[in-house]
């Protein structure tokens, strides 16, 4: 029998999809659901406990008690304020140890991984549980980017690389060479909505999402799904460019069907080759 899979569940559909994939493999799951982030609807029928991000000591104890050896972190998590965190002794010790690394997502997540590994857990990427999640290279549907869109994609790659080096965000919206918005703490959905309010006349903009340089690809990979496409369409965007082999596409068949129906392109790019 495969070992029990631990899932640290943030928001969105991915935690529920991981539970379903593990069950299809005959694998038991135990979920640590992050309060005010995880969706209760995806936890029906699965063994789970709700915790805050400040309860690291409790999290380690529960994972060990439930016999978890492999662990996957899935779904976006809103970073709490210090007032909201209310850390237990283990969490406080962790933040005292990492210091300024906690200021950036990459530094914080890398430190979190090391802390779990020090407890004996093996950290997996979501794609190691669900094999068909990563975006392929090239167009995912029938709609293709034209010359203006390709130019905007190149501009988006340049800007997104800069954002990633500064550990700020993973996404940017570009229209006719103009940067309408960059992703920070608000997340991709809010970026798309904000860019939609700033759109110009003429051909619509492009969303570009890239993995950050030096990012640990087991966690926090760029992710798109059906809601991303719906928001992009509502915002007047023409399409989405994502990093091939480093972006999670939730329900890829559904994404292709919806993109074709909405007239949006979705394309996997290799920014290191551009």
Q: Which pLDDT score is estimated for 274? A: 43
pLDDT at 1 over 80: no
- State whether 184 and 94 are in the same domain: no
Q: Which pLDDT score is estimated for 215? A: 76
- State whether 206 and 246 are in the same domain: yes
User: Which pair of structure tokens corresponds to residue 137?
Assistant: 């290279």
Q: Which pLDDT score is estimated for 81? A: 63
- State whether 124 and 153 are in the same domain: no
Domain endpoint, select from 129, 149, 179: 129
Bigger pLDDT: 4 or 230? 230
Nearest CA to 195 among 154, 161, 240, 150?
240
- State whether 56 and 113 are in the same domain: yes
- State whether 143 and 259 are in the same domain: yes
Query: Is there a contact between 7 and 74 (Cβ–Cβ < 8 Å)?
Result: yes
In angstroms, rounded to a whole number, what is the distance separating the alpha carbons of residues 71 and 125? 9
User: Which pair of structure tokens corresponds to residue 225?
Assistant: 């799904």
- State whether 159 and 212 are in the same domain: yes
Q: Which pLDDT score is estimated for 273? A: 47
- State whether 170 and 105 are in the same domain: no
β-bridge pairing 265-269 and 138-139: antiparallel
User: Which pair of structure tokens corresponds to residue 240?
Assistant: 């989405």
- State whether 78 and 108 are in the same domain: yes
Query: Is there a contact between 68 and 119 (Cβ–Cβ < 8 Å)?
Result: no
Query: Is there a contact between 35 and 52 (Cβ–Cβ < 8 Å)?
Result: yes
Neighbouring residues of 120: CB distance < 8 A, sequence distance ≥ 6: 69
Question: CATH no. for residue 166?
Answer: 3.40.140.80
Q: Is the dihedral of CA 101, 102, 105, 106 positive or negative?
A: positive
Query: Is there a contact between 219 and 256 (Cβ–Cβ < 8 Å)?
Result: no
- State whether 162 and 241 are in the same domain: yes
Domain endpoint, select from 96, 129, 162: 129
Q: Which pLDDT score is estimated for 93? A: 78
What domain range includes position 268? 138-273
Tell me how many domains the chain contains: 2
- State whether 142 and 262 are in the same domain: yes
**pLDDT per residue as tens digits for the range 15-35:** 998 998 888 888 899 999 999
Query: Is there a contact between 46 and 159 (Cβ–Cβ < 8 Å)?
Result: no
DSSP single-letter state for residue 219: S
Nearest CA to 245 among 151, 149, 127?
127
Domain endpoint, select from 108, 129, 150: 129
pLDDT at 139 over 90: yes
Confidence band for 80, pLDDT divided at 50, 70 and 90: low
**pLDDT per residue as tens digits for the range 252-274:** 999 999 999 999 999 999 976 44
DSSP single-letter state for residue 42: G
Q: Which pLDDT score is estimated for 75? A: 86
- State whether 147 and 269 are in the same domain: yes
Question: CATH no. for residue 89?
Answer: 3.40.50.20
Query: Is there a contact between 186 and 169 (Cβ–Cβ < 8 Å)?
Result: no
Bigger pLDDT: 274 or 44? 44
- State whether 106 and 199 are in the same domain: no
**pLDDT per residue as tens digits for the range 168-207:** 889 999 999 999 999 988 889 999 999 999 999 999 999 9
């Amino acid at each position: 029998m495969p070992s029990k899979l631990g899932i640290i569940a943030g928001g969105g559909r991915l935690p529920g999809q991981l539970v379903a994939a593990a069950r299809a493999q005959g694998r038991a799951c135990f979920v640590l659901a992050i309060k005010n982030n995880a969706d209760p609807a995806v936890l029906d029928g699965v063994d789970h406990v709700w915790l805050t991000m400040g309860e690291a000591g409790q999290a380690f104890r529960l994972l060990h008690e439930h016999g978890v050896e492999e662990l996957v972190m899935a779904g976006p998590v809103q970073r709490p304020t210090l007032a909201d965190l209310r850390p237990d002794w283990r969490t406080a010790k962790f933040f005292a140890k990492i210091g300024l690394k906690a200021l950036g997502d990459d530094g914080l997540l890398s430190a979190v991984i090391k802390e779990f590994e020090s407890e004996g857990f093996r950290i997996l990427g979501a794609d190691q549980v669900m094999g068909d999640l990563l975006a392929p290279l090239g167009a995912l549907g029938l709609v293709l980017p034209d010359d203006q869109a390709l130019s905007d994609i190149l501009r988006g790659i340049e800007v997104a690389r800069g954002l990633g080096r500064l550990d700020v965000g993973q996404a940017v919206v570009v229209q006719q060479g103009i940067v309408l918005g960059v992703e920070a703490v608000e997340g991709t959905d809010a970026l798309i909505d904000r860019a939609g309010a700033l759109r110009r006349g003429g051909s619509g903009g492009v969303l570009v999402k890239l993995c950050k340089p030096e990012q640990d690809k087991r966690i926090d990979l760029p992710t798109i799904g059906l809601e991303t496409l719906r928001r992009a369409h509502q915002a007047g965007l023409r399409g989405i460019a994502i990093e091939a082999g480093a972006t999670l596409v939730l329900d890829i068949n559904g994404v292709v069907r919806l993109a074709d129906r909405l007239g949006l392109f979705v394309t996997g790019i290799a920014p290191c080759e551009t």
